Structure 1
Amino acid sequence: MNGTIFDIKECSMHDGPGVRVTVFLKGCPLRCMWCHNPEGLSREPQLMFKENRCCRCGKCRIKCNHDICQRFNRCVYACPNDCLSVSGKMIGDAELAESLLKQKNMLQFINGGVTFSGGEPLLQWEFVCAVIDRISELNIAIQTSGFAESNAYRSVVDKVDFVMQDIKIMNPEKHKLYTGVENSKILDNIDYLKKSGKKFVFRVPLIPDITDTEENLKEISKFVGGHRTELMRYNTFAGVKYPMLGMKYKLSDRESRKDDYTKYFENAVLL
């Protein structure tokens, strides 16, 4: 079975217990206005262009025979200044598993493991399950929005050791406004997670004037109860990659605040 990924990061420190290898899967059904991985939104490979490096030499416009270049009408490999790159690679479950298992001894020695992130990894849940079945001796985690059909969510949750479950906005209308989807599926899946017996943590992105309002944080706190919650500071560099993809970032000129957001929760840490 094939899947599409856009990155694999080694030595990740905040993607689950211990030091992790994080696999970023391409494609996401949400359109969060603050997304800092815009290259993970589309399932299709995308050309990333660093215009500030471009010397207008025109070498990328010369025809080539590289398969990946044909869809973009540019040679990705010709640029002398490395202006061009492709985000997105199709890979088989066996090939990905083999690559991850090469780090088995190291990951087990440091009590780490493999984390599936995105994008939204549940958009490719069958592929994720196929890879997990091949690397089941490793500690497996998933970072997810929870927006998926119940069978997809449960199939993956039942196979992993740890779940990082995002929870962004409790109000359904505001959730749809700022993420593009309603949150009923997410809340239903979280109910399953709470009863699953799996280890998990909630993750709340602190987006100024959107998710970090007193009203929203109090509602989230009531919903999560005493479960461990990680509050994620707003990434002020979230919009950097958008111009490289020909996209526009919608939340410019926002700054991360230094408020004590943990006061709203029984068991929360600020990251």
Structure 2
Amino acid sequence: MIIDLLKHSLRSFKRQRAYIVINILGLAIGIACSLLITLYVINEAGYDRFNEKKDRLYRVILNGKIGSQTITGAFTPAVMGPTLPREFPEVEDFLRMNGMGPTTVEYEQQIFTDNDIIEADSSFFNFFTIPVIKGDPKNLLNSPHKVVLSETTARKIFGNEDPVDKLLKIGSDSIRYVVSGIMKDVPSNSHFDASMVTSFMTNPRSKDDIWLNNSFGLYLLLKKNSNPATVDARFNELIVKYVGPEVQKFMGTTIEEFLKRGNIYRFYLQKLTDIH
């Protein structure tokens, strides 16, 4: 019986070889595509979820319109970061972060351009779960002219040599930074990449107190059980208190009149896991 079935199957295969091969290939391609799509969805949905404090982390977004000019994005004034914990009891900590763009790096005879250098406050490692290989996370970025290298970058520049306390020239002004530590590479499913992290306070604009000068990214760590909607609602108070006087000074009108004319100036929170 089984032998007869096998003979019948072989005869059918010989007669319909092309049809059967096409069906098998189609099934294999379908399964492969399904697996790839599933892996893609899992990867996309997993962005930034490696961060242990992800449920309390938010990025501040500016939505503005002045005349015909509009702006929406992660742009805030440098002064907003240290102000928010004083004004909003829901805010536990802040982190200002900024990409430096294509930047020249020099070490001895090596000169190259790096596109993934960021500058950040010393709270960087309190916000993002990126393991530190060498150095104390609390002290890595706590003073000017410090830089933390990713594991790959440290190996690229120094090979097997210990880079800690070595000096790098970074940027067009050839500012010297001391290597304060090494961190694991930023995971690929993070909304940002960082080959190096320099101390934010090295940037002279870190002390800028102009509220209308929106130049930096700002992240907030909210206290446990805090409601982000409460923070969103209170941003209007902040704008009236701090942005209002500058609108009066630079534009010759009150913040109320400015907004009545159809202009928009508001901040709101974006959940970390919603960024990507």
TM-score normalized with structure 2 length:
0.22
Structure with greater proportional strand content: 2
Structure having the higher helix fraction is 2
TM-score (norm 1): 0.23
